[in-house]
């Protein structure tokens, strides 16, 4: 990892550690119970979950900094194993655990101790037992090969400094026929990397966004197929929240 990559990674870690601590403090003092306080004009955050917010603790909603609701598009089924890349405060893991039921399991991987602690508290408060929060990097997932049916993520892959490794890990941990369904920030193909950097920071989910063609090429290069990218709403000029889907071939 280069010095620049290490610095970007630390910038991201610090931002989300600070966010987790802020949510914990608000939860403890009773302040800011409105989940919209962590959103930005409904383009990011818990406002994008709608009625699903009723299923999770307030702190899980407050900690949501994503750009969509991946559990709404992942088509989760009873008994499946689900992995959330960059699970943060745990909202998508908790929602996934309820969708797959007691015979299924939901894993969350996050590199930030503060977010992991918050997620585990949220799981305990929600009384959800079929969840496991693991410390790790999305470029090096601490799960065996072919161990999950579905990989989800919410506005996290754009933060990685090594996206080909992330896509490689997705392909590794998915079972044959397994599904990839994430919400992420994706740039229009007309924007160069410099254009993206002008529109926002790396830690702010803008500068590190892939273009639609780059995203598709990355997933296909990792061996996934049936790739689709659908823009949902614009977050900056030429950059959109998007639903990205793909599938691991059946061997």
State the CATH number of the domain containing residue 161.
3.40.50.150
Burial class, 29, CB count within 10 angstroms (exposed 0-12 / middle 13-18 / buried 19+) = exposed
3-state secondary structure of 107: strand
Sign of CA dihedral 13, 2, 207, 158: negative
* pLDDT tens-digit map of 57-109: 444 444 445 576 777 778 899 999 999 999 988 888 999 999 999 999 999 99
* pTM of the model as a whole: 0.84
In the block, tokens 């799981």 appear at 123
Residue that is written with structure tokens 């079972």 in the block = 175
Q: How confident is the model at residue 124 (pLDDT cuts 50, 70, 90)?
A: very high
Would the pLDDT of 47 be above 80?
no
Rounded CA gap, 14 and 18, in Å? 6
Structure-block tokens of residue 127: 């009384």
Domain total for the chain?
Answer: 1
- Among 41-50, 180-189, 192-201, the range scoring the smallest mean pLDDT is 41-50
pLDDT averaged over the chain?
A: 83
How does residue 28 score in pLDDT terms, banded at 50, 70 and 90? very low
Instruction: Give the whole-angstrom CA distance, residue 228 versus residue 62.
Output: 30
Q: In this structure, are residues 184 and 160 in contact, taking their beta carbons and an 8 Å threshold?
A: no
Domain of residue 85 covers: 3-247
Say if CB 111 and CB 136 are below 8 A apart: yes
More confident residue, 222 or 8: 222
Position 42 scores a pLDDT of 44
Q: Where residue 21 falls among pLDDT bands split at 50, 70, 90?
A: low
Strand 81-85 versus strand 148-154 pairing type = parallel
Q: Taking residues 176-196, what's their average pLDDT?
A: 96
- pLDDT tens for 188-228 read 999 999 999 999 988 788 889 999 999 999 999 999 999 99
- Asked if residues 159 and 208 have their Cβ atoms less than 8 Å apart, the reply is yes
pLDDT at 30: 33
pLDDT reading at 51 higher than 70: no
Residue of 77, 69, 85, 243 lying closest to 170 (CA atoms): 85
Three-state secondary structure call for residue 132: strand
Roughly how many angstroms between the first and final C-alpha of the chain, as a whole number?
33
């Amino acid at each position: 990892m280069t010095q620049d990559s290490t610095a970007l990674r630390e910038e991201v870690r610090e931002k989300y550690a600070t966010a987790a601590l802020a949510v914990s403090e608000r939860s403890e003092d009773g302040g800011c119970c409105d989940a919209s306080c962590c959103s930005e004009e409904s383009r990011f955050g818990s406002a994008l979950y709608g009625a699903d917010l009723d299923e999770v603790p307030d702190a899980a909603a407050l900690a949501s900094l994503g750009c969509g609701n991946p559990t709404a598009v992942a088509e989760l089924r009873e008994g499946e194993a689900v992995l959330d890349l960059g699970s943060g405060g745990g909202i998508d893991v908790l929602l996934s655990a309820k969708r797959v039921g007691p015979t299924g399991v939901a894993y969350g991987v996050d590199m930030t101790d503060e977010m992991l602690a918050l997620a585990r508290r949220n799981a305990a408060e929600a009384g959800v037992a079929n969840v496991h929060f693991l410390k790790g990097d999305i470029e090096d997932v601490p799960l065996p090969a072919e161990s999950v049916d579905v990989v989800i993520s919410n506005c996290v892959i754009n933060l990685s400094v090594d996206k080909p490794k992330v896509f490689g890990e997705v392909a590794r941990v998915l079972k044959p026929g397994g599904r990839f369904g994430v919400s992420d920030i994706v740039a229009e193909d007309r924007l160069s990397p410099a254009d993206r950097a002008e529109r926002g920071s790396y830690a702010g989910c803008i500068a590190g966004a892939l273009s639609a063609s780059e995203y598709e090429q990355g997933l296909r290069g990792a061996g996934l197929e049936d790739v689709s990218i659908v823009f949902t709403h614009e977050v900056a000029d030429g950059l959109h929240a998007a639903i990205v889907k793909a599938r691991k071939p059946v061997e």
